[in-house]
Amino acid sequence: MKNRFFRGHGLGNDYLVVDPKEMTFQLSPKKIKAICDRNWGVGSDGILALVRSKKADFGLRIFNPDGSEAEKSGNGLRIFARYLHATGKTKKEHFTVETRGGLVTIELHVDRHGDASMATVGMGLATFKPAALPCSLDVPELIQQTIEVAGRPLIFTGVSVGNPHCVVFKPAGETWSREELLALGPALENHRLFPKRINVQLAVPTGPKEIFILIWERGAGETQASGSSSCAAASAAVRLGVVQSPVTVKMPGGALNIDVAPDFSLTMKGPVAEVARGTLSPSFVRGLR
């Protein structure tokens, strides 16, 4: 069958997975936007496309719902891993995946039903260097830097975990509101300091090994949960000394466990669910063309 898709989510962050070899059309920004539209299309936070890799067992391209391409996605990688296992593309429980944001290792945790309902992902190294995001500030590292946004001064920590992130902390005991996220998220995403845009986390420490974050994703907007955002916020929190590793990162969609090693290599563990498998209708595909 042609034009098949697999739908999964990680803590409410949902993706469609496709094999381009099984599609009768080529993915383009316009078509991706149409497929991801929650009213006129299938609806999704993005599309994961299986591709070949010379460096890893599998290759992955990650597309945001606005049609732009992302370097890395923690939730997307867990969903992609479950897709590979559930559809028989691999019988392995340990394998590697190449993304635009680097090579990752994945370990599947198969439950008593035979489903890969949890996954551990080696997400690579976090770095705070401006060139890695990129960020136009001329500083050695993006630790506690001042930024003016939406009429207010903020202090942010910039970190790349294969994709770029801007983490803004409030002190323990305070909270971030959704209204603040909706105001600050898009303003920070498109700030002139970040020429390729950026993902945003509004964070607060809630325990010695725990933080809570609200998430604004580049190209997607408000998001219930994000693996790469969890990794970025956890690494920033450890670097700033507000928590110790391993870090439980709580989000509106749920929690992920992030281990931040002394060299700032990151390991993420969390749940993943399959929702549906389906086929794009011929009439819908004709409309894409």
Residue 1 is predicted with a pLDDT of 82
Cα 68 from chain centroid (whole Å):
14
For 191-224, give one letter per residue: b (16+ CB within 10 A) or e.
bebbeebbbbbbbbbeeebbbbbbbbbbbbbebb
Of 3.30.930.10, 3.10.310.10, 1.10.3720.10, 3.50.50.60, which CATH number belongs to 4-124+272-288? 3.10.310.10
Contact between residue 155 and residue 189 where contact means Cβ atoms under 8 Å apart: no
- Do residues 20 and 51 lie in contact, with contact meaning Cβ atoms separated by under 8 Å? yes
What is the enclosing helix (H) or strand (E) of 70? Answer: strand 69-70
Write down the pLDDT at residue 44: 96
What residues are paired with 73 via a beta bridge? none
For residues 5-21, give the mean pLDDT.
Answer: 96
Q: Which whole number is the average pLDDT over 229-243?
A: 98
Tens of pLDDT, residues 124-171: 999 999 999 999 999 999 999 999 998 899 999 999 999 999 999 999
With CA atoms as reference, report the closest residue to 92 among 76, 110, 75, 74: 110
Cβ burial of 46 (10 Å; 0-12, 13-18, 19+) is buried
- The CATH code that applies to domain 130-263 is 3.10.310.10
For residue 171, the model assigns a pLDDT of 95
pLDDT in tens, 34-80: 999 999 999 999 999 999 999 999 999 999 999 999 999 999 999 99
Q: How confident is the model at residue 212 (pLDDT cuts 50, 70, 90)?
A: very high
Among residues of the chain, what percentage have pLDDT more than 90? 98
Is the pLDDT at 289 greater than 90? The verdict is: no
Residue pair 211/249 in contact (Cβ under 8 Å)? The answer is yes
* Cβ contact 261:245 at 8 Å: yes
Number of neighbouring beta carbons within 10 Å of residue 188 = 25
- Nearest-CA neighbor of 272 among 80, 45, 72? 80
| CA atoms within 13 A of residue 226's CA, in its CB half-sphere | 32
Confidence of residue 199 (pLDDT cuts 50, 70, 90): very high
**How large is the average pLDDT for residues 182-192?**
97
Which pLDDT score, from 0 to 100, does residue 207 have?
Answer: 97
Domain boundaries, the chain: 4-124+272-288, 130-263
**φ/ψ bin of 197: left (φ > 0), alpha (ψ from -120 to 50), beta (otherwise):** left
Q: Which two tokens stand for residue 205?
A: 């420490």
The Cβ-side half-sphere exposure at 279, using a 13 Å CA radius, reads: 8
Check pLDDT > 90 for residue 27: yes
Output the pTM of the full model.
0.93
Domains 4-124+272-288 and 130-263 agree in fold: yes
Digit-coded pLDDT (tens) for 76-110: 999 999 999 999 999 999 999 999 999 999 999 99
